Amino acid sequence: MEGTPKNKIMDKDGIRRAVSRISHEIVEKNKGTKDLILIGIRTRGVPLAERIREKILEIEDINLPLGLLDITLYRDDLSTIGVQPVVHETKVPFSIEGKTVILIDDVLFTGRTVRAALDALIDLGRPQKIQLAVLVDRGHRELPIRADYVGKNVPTSSKEIISVCLEEIDNNEEVILLEKSKENNSI
Amino acid sequence: MKWKPKDLLDLDNLTTEEIEHILQTAKPMREILSRPIKKLPTLRGKSVVLLFYESSTRTRTSFESAAKILGADTTNFTVAQSSITKGESLLDTAKTIQAMNVDLVVVRHSSSGAADFLADTLKASVINGGDGQHAHPTQALLDLFTIQERIGDIKGKKVVIVGDIIHSRVARSNAIGLQKMGADVTLVGPPTLLPTEMSYLGIKLSHDLDKELPGADVVMALRLQLERQQSGLFPSIREYSKLYGLSVDRIKKTGKQTIVMHPGPMNRGVEIASDLADSVQSVIEKQVTNGVAIRMALIYLLIGGGTGNVVD
């Protein structure tokens, strides 16, 4: 995404602490790890989900099932965005029936990705509960959706972009706020 | 990369990168086929017309399932029940379809070039579901996908296609697709059923199956149209079967765990023995399942999103 960097919202340690706190909150809110399943939304929700799994393994000694969800085919803007998003594989090799699903993504913005993810999940079965964990909530919701676990709330203007970089994907670890350079067709 | 094609007419005008993109997109589609609920909202409100001038079971039903799983609506124009029997021309039928605002037309026709003609005429996207002796690109793509799924990278693999090559649009599209993906392709058949022009493409031609089998990673049998014997192209079905029919014993000559393919429908006991068709080496049923995945990928790529830049 293009833009001029304005300020750093989280550094490596900030991200680590946020993931650690979210992991504790998940275990606390659900009174343990019974029937919990972690599902990361591609792309950056996946490494976050892996980190949460590791953290929960460390604190509770339980290795939770981990799935990955690609929401491309559930987007509501396919016929209007003008570009063609690549479809990736959804990998949820276990039943989600009756489970508590923790849906994990990097940024919560309009809520449309989460809406798509909810539809995608429900096509795989009927979970008992779905909870949402995000690293950054930047506001500007267009749908009635909220997160259960938030790493950091960042008030933003619509001219700004939040860029999350994670080691596993970007070889870099930070969350930065950028000012949009001009009209850009970010998706 | 950019995805430019509006239509899928044959593999010769696709780049290797585009073919790889189609195969890559078919992987997530394959996963969807294994779900209990096979239904997506992706193409809600889009309409697909299946215009089949030639009989077909697997291709037509495969396209129909693919479109329906992605949420599109399908309409069948089959020859027996439409104005085609009243003598309507392909152009007029096409114009009628155009007037119904369809997004995609899948066409099968006995004349080579019918799909190209429609693609030039229609605003809608066109997929060639087989035209005359010209091309059957979706069959070739599903074969590439199946080979990739079973034995990995196609590059450098030895593929033997045996049978009535000259009349086969499957063989032609496969030879082109396999060659683009870097496979080493050999076409085998009796001299009367082997087109010498194919050697200009750098494809090896042979009349001796047993000589070509050693080292083959993939052997593909083609359906022998039995009526060809009447026109004198080969002496007898028994002789053909003896020289070019595949069996469990014969396939051992490859010296490998070769996979055996057939585009269907099969003449069991002619081009392929039953024991081989039903063996673990046979991927014939996989080809059918993968056909739905490949067609889902193509339908998505042609009418699913915008055209132009592919964004990851």
Positive or negative CA dihedral for B174, B179, B180, B183? positive
Please tell me the distance from the alpha carbon of residue A38 to that of residue A149, in angstroms, as a whole number.
13
Rg (CA), chain A: 16
Distances (CA, A) of B107 to A66, A69, B55, B93, B127: 43, 34, 12, 12, 6
Beta bridge partners of residue B107, listed in sequence order: B51, B128
Beta bridge partners of residue B311, listed in sequence order: A85
Q: Which pLDDT score is estimated for A185?
A: 52
**How much of chain A is in helix, strand and coil states, percent to nearest 5?**
30, 30, 40
Q: Which pLDDT score is estimated for B144?
A: 98
Buried b (16+ CB within 10 A) or exposed e, B223-259: bbeeebeeeebbeebeebbebbbbbbebbebbebebb
A91 touches chain B (CB under 8 A): yes
The alpha carbon of residue A109 is apart from the nearest alpha carbon of chain B, in Å, by 19
Question: At residue B98, does pLDDT exceed 50?
Answer: yes
Q: Could you tell me where the DSSP H helices lie in A44-180?
A: 45-60, 112-122, 167-170
The alpha carbon of residue B23 is apart from the nearest alpha carbon of chain A, in Å, by 11
Q: Is pTM, for the whole model, over 0.95? A: no
ipTM: 0.88
What are the structure tokens assigned to B225, written together? 């149209």
Nearest residue of A to residue B301, measured between CA atoms: A84
Half-sphere exposure of A96 (CA within 13 A, CB side): 28
Mutation for B interface: A2, A70, A72, A86, most B CBs within 10 A? A86
A1 touches chain B (CB under 8 A): no
Q: CA angle, A19 as apex, A18 and A24 as ends, to 5°?
A: 95
Per-residue pLDDT of chain A (187 residues; tens, 9 = 90+): 578 898 999 999 999 999 999 999 999 999 999 999 999 999 999 999 999 999 999 999 999 999 999 999 999 888 888 788 999 999 999 999 999 999 999 999 999 999 999 999 999 999 999 999 999 999 999 999 999 999 999 999 999 999 999 999 999 999 999 998 766 555 4
Lowest mean pLDDT among B45-49, B81-85, B185-189, B216-220: B81-85
Nearest by CB to residue B311, choosing from A73, A79, A83, is A83
pLDDT mean across residues, chain B: 92
What are the structure tokens assigned to B177, written together? 């697709």
Comparing CA positions, the residue from B290, B278, B230 lying closest to residue B23 is B290
Question: At residue B254, does pLDDT exceed 80?
Answer: yes
Q: Which pLDDT score is estimated for B99?
A: 92
Comparing CA positions, the residue from B264, B244, B248 lying closest to residue B161 is B244
What are the structure tokens assigned to A79, written together? 């016929």
Please give the domain boundaries of chain B with CATH numbers for all domains: 2-135+288-309 (3.40.50.1370), 137-283 (3.40.50.1370)
Judged by CB atoms closer than 8 Å, whether chains meet at A70 and B28 is answered as yes
At residue B212, the 3 state secondary structure works out as helix
Residues of B in contact with A125 (CB under 8 A): 36
Mutation for B interface: A78, A124, A126, most B CBs within 10 A? A78
Please give the domain boundaries of chain A with CATH numbers for all domains: 3-77+85-180 (3.40.50.2020)
C-alpha A23, offset from chain centre: 14
How many C-beta atoms surround the C-beta of residue B12 within 10 A? 14
At residue B83 the predicted structure's pLDDT band, cuts being 50, 70 and 90, is low
Beta bridge partners of residue A107, listed in sequence order: A136
What are the structure tokens assigned to A53, written together? 């799994």
Residues of A in contact with B37 (CB under 8 A): 123-124
